[in-house]
Amino acid sequence: MTSLEDMARHLGARLAAHGRTLDDLVAEVDTSFGEPVLMSAAGSVVHGFGTPMSDIDVHVVVESSTVTGLPITSFTLGVAVDVNYIRAESIRRAADALRNPEAPKSRDRAAWRDYRRKLAQLNRLILGHPLRGGEDWLDWQRDRRRPVAEATVRWWRAEAVRYRLACELLRDTRPTAAAERLGRAGVAALDALATARGEVCFGQKWVGAKLERLGDAELLSLYGRFLDLPVNAAEARTYLREAGALFAGLAARLDLPADPEVGLSPAAGLETWRSHGDRALVHRWALRGVEVRTRDVEFLGDPGWNWTGRSGEMTETHRLLAGEDLLWLSIDWSTV
């Protein structure tokens, strides 16, 4: 991964361009929430991808239980600095959760997004450049660098598998949406490869820059193809065929599971209206839906409904609802 020496050089150069130093950056951190126990600089600037408009992110761990969830921004150094305060107890818990190979345990959309948020926070704090901290916290950060990097690779692997399966479920009913999911799958697979090779910056807008710095012309070419999304159904069919073959090569390279363990849960806004006879309309906010036999969707009435199993074990009803974008799809973390 990017060395601490490289991070210090990238950060120092950005500050020096404004006549500032690392000590000036540290001085920007307010102590209203208590004395920091660990401070780490993160983001695109630290990893060497920043543009002249990029800000500098500083993540600060404090013992206080009352911290703002929003970054505090300052411009006094001539460059925007976003200071993010993190509760010590919360970040320790999040780091410990990474040791659970089955995380995230819950597979609904809220849990999936919450896990991504926590992983992004850990990635930036732990894989960033340490600025200040007590010896115990600096040791804590150093000891978790590899586990966090490995968890980041697993995340992008899981996202690649999830989006690829979503593509297959949408292929017949919504080909352009299927193509968009395939593009996301390809970029996630490329991010997994780049992260495994040391480019750990958490942010898919930098995938191209990461591949370019790795000097991998082949992967850069794939990146361009995955981003060249179709604009109509005819183009989508060509894209699904050609980009699908390219993704298959990446899947083999990453040894991604062909029949992953998946979780299905109701998408946001899902409701079931009884139609006539034995028919029911399953819809989202009355904007998109499908009519099915009532007995085939009785399970949707169970509070907290969630189905898990191999993708090949999904029923026709599961596939029909998923194909109409009525279910939320997750991937079992431990199988990728």
Q: How does residue 95 score in pLDDT terms, banded at 50, 70 and 90? A: very high
Please provide residue 54's backbone torsions phi and psi, each rounded to the nearest 5 degrees.
Answer: -70, 145
Residue 302 structure tokens:
């169970």
Residues 295, 177 share a domain:
no
Domain boundary among 86, 113, 138: 138
> How many domains is the chain built from?
3
Q: Reply yes or no on whether the pLDDT at 1 is more than 70.
A: no
**In the chain, helix, strand, coil percent, each to 5?**
50, 20, 30
Quick one: 44 and 126 in the same domain? yes
| Phi-psi map region of 187: left, alpha, beta (phi>0 left; psi -120 to 50 alpha) | alpha
With CA atoms as reference, report the closest residue to 13 among 50, 42, 58. 50
Structure tokens at 151: 């968890």
The predicted pLDDT at position 219 comes to 97
Which residues have CB under 8 Å from 113's CB, separation 6+? none
Residue-wise pLDDT for 135-180, tens only, equals: 999 999 999 999 999 999 999 999 999 999 999 999 998 999 999 9
Q: Are residues 216 and 334 in the same domain?
A: no
Examine the domain organization and report whether 95 and 183 are in the same domain.
no
Q: How far apart are the first and last CA of the chain?
A: 21
Would you state the pLDDT for residue 105?
A: 53
Give the domain CATH number at 181.
1.20.120
Domain co-membership, 289 together with 246: no
State the CATH number of the domain containing residue 29. Answer: 3.30.460
The count of C-alpha atoms lying within 13 angstroms of the C-alpha of 223, restricted to the half-sphere facing its C-beta, is: 20
What is the number of residues in the chain? 336
Question: How many Å apart are CA 294 and CA 281, to the nearest integer?
Answer: 8
- Same domain, yes or no, for 332 and 269? yes
Q: In the block, which residue shows the tokens 């978790």?
A: 144
Residues 154 and 94 in one domain: no
24 and 79 share one domain: yes
What pTM value is reported for the model? 0.92
Per-residue pLDDT tens over the stretch 8-30: 999 999 999 999 999 999 999 98
Q: Report which of 223, 229, 149 is spatially closest to residue 186, judged by C-alpha positions.
A: 223
The rounded distance, in Å, linking the Cα atoms of 150 and 1 is 11
Range of the domain at 35: 4-138
Same domain, yes or no: 115 and 199: no
Shared domain check, 216 and 134: no
Write down which residue in 254, 284, 312 finishes a domain.
254
What does pLDDT average to over the chain?
92
Alpha helices in 197-297 (DSSP H): 207-214, 217-227, 233-254
Give the model's confidence band at 101: pLDDT under 50 very low, under 70 low, under 90 confident, else very high.
low
Q: In the block, which residue shows the tokens 């479920």?
A: 169
**C-alpha torsion sign, points 133, 135, 137, 139:** positive
Q: Is the pLDDT of residue 31 over 90?
A: no
- Kindly tell me if the per-residue pLDDT of 7 is higher than 80: yes
Same domain, 124 and 11: yes
Cα(267)–Cα(289) distance, rounded to whole angstroms?
12
Same domain, 12 and 96: yes
Burial 84-119 (b: 16+ CB within 10 A, else e): bbbbbeebeebbebbeeeebbebbbeebbeebeebb
**Percentage of the chain with pLDDT > 70?**
97
- Residue at 95: amino acid letter: A
pLDDT mean over 91-111: 75
Extract the tokens encoding 246: 């390219």
Provide the pLDDT confidence category of residue 128 given band limits of 50, 70 and 90: very high
Name residues whose C-beta falls within 8 Å of residue 228's C-beta, 6 or more positions apart in sequence: 239
How many angstroms separate the CA atoms of 87 and 309, rounded?
A: 36
* Candidate ranges 26-35, 184-193, 259-268, 296-305; pick with highest mean pLDDT: 184-193
